[in-house]
Structure 1
């Protein structure tokens, strides 16, 4: 191929057919084709192996089609059932149980309460917990783990909790009777 005009003459029809199979909009297909030839013209110097020109050209074409779909998201109105995000029951259960955890955390002994507060609520690393508490890293890890264990015991004291294989709460039922934590 000597010029971009030679490339156009040889590949125009085939590339347009390739694009039309993937893009239903005729005008968009023509625009994509024009964009491809601009890319080819501006990047032809980067092609190291001229014998691979055709595969290089089709890779540019595939990328241009992907770019088209990324930039032209549908602006149609969404159906009403899609507009309102619906929270699944597992998420609802986690949210409800999280409301119970705050009072439970307050019932923990001071050293565990503060470690759990820093680690789980504030999202600090255990190393940061150790620095704030002025204790060793292993001491911070122990406090956080012990605090978690105590919270788990409190939760199981007031609720029957179903946990999935990923150790996530799937469902729960409050136990009848008086629990001092719920």
Structure 2
């Protein structure tokens, strides 16, 4: 697996860096891809599809990365609720 990985690693790195503009995060993603690919090598149906299989794993790992990121700050529980104006109330009733 290592020889095949080394053959495709640079192309996968370029693919990840096009989507995620942080070299350290890209390396973390590539490490996860290698670990998942090594652990699931038995699922590979043919050596001919290795490259596309690695790209699919890479894509999935990047999606997991985006899912786990919190791009917003949690609002405090004690935040005041805005009072609705009569216009807002009427709009809500219409929908």
Give TM class, smaller chain. 0.7 to 0.9
Bigger Rg over Cα: 1
- CA deviation vs aligned residue, 1:80-115 (integer Å, no higher than 9, x gap): xxxx88x7x8862266x5xxxxxxxxxxxxxxxxxx
Structure 1 equivalent of residue 19 of structure 2: 22
Kindly indicate which of the two structures has a greater share of residues assigned to strand.
1
TM-score normalised per structure 2: 0.75
- Aligned pair partner of 2:6 in 9, 24, 44: 9
Q: Report the Cα distance in structure 1 between the residues aligned to 2:89 and 2:21, rounded to whole angstroms.
A: 41
> Gapped runs of 5+ residues in structure 2?
76-80
Structure 2 equivalent of residue 59 of structure 1: 56
Q: What RMSD, in angstroms, separates the aligned Cα atoms of the two structures?
A: 2.9
Between Structure 1 and Structure 2, how many residues are aligned? 88
> Gapped runs of 5+ residues in structure 1?
79-83, 98-168, 171-182
Structure 1 pair 53–90 and aligned structure 2 pair: CA distance change class (3 A) = farther
Superposed counterparts of 1:37-116, under 5 Å: 37-75=34-72, 92-93=89-90
